A = this chain, B = another copy of it.
Amino acid sequence: MKPLAKPVEELPREQLPHHEDPRCVPVRRLLQTVGSKWCSLVVAHLEYEPRRFSDLKRSIGGVTQKSLTATLRELEKDGLVNRVVTPSIPPRVDYSLTPLGRTLLVPLKALTNWAIENEAAVSSARERFERENGPD
């Protein structure tokens, strides 16, 4: 049998990123940001239209004002979310996705869709794991 083009063992392992690789820094920061408890819901709720703070808080539900503020600040820092203050009485603050934030939407939705599509496979894997290794 003819050998394949290149045995797996000879693939460029030395190109794999060490944890000090500079490319790891932005990747880890992004993943930790989107992995924070409320980030994905906030982004989802900003997809179609700008939203006011308490509007966002009410329609997401279960989030404290502090956590929502922190999540929005983090997204604002990264240039993903725009914050527009209208100094009226009562004050009004609108949040929306920036163009940069919109480009993130594509790969982020791909990942969340994976989670939904493979939910059954993952949870049955977890049940199997608990059967074999104890429910500790």
Contact = CB atoms under 8 A, between A and B. Distances in A.
Contacts of A70: none
B121 A100 contact: yes
Contacts of A60: 18-19
Interface in A94-136: 100, 103-104, 106-108, 110-116, 118-119, 121-126, 128-129
A37 interface: yes
Contacts of A26: 115-116, 118-119, 122-123
Given A19-B60, A30-B115, 13 more contacts: A11-B49, A26-B116, A26-B123, A27-B40, A28-B40, A30-B114, A30-B122, A31-B40, A76-B129, A77-B126, A79-B124, A107-B110, A108-B111
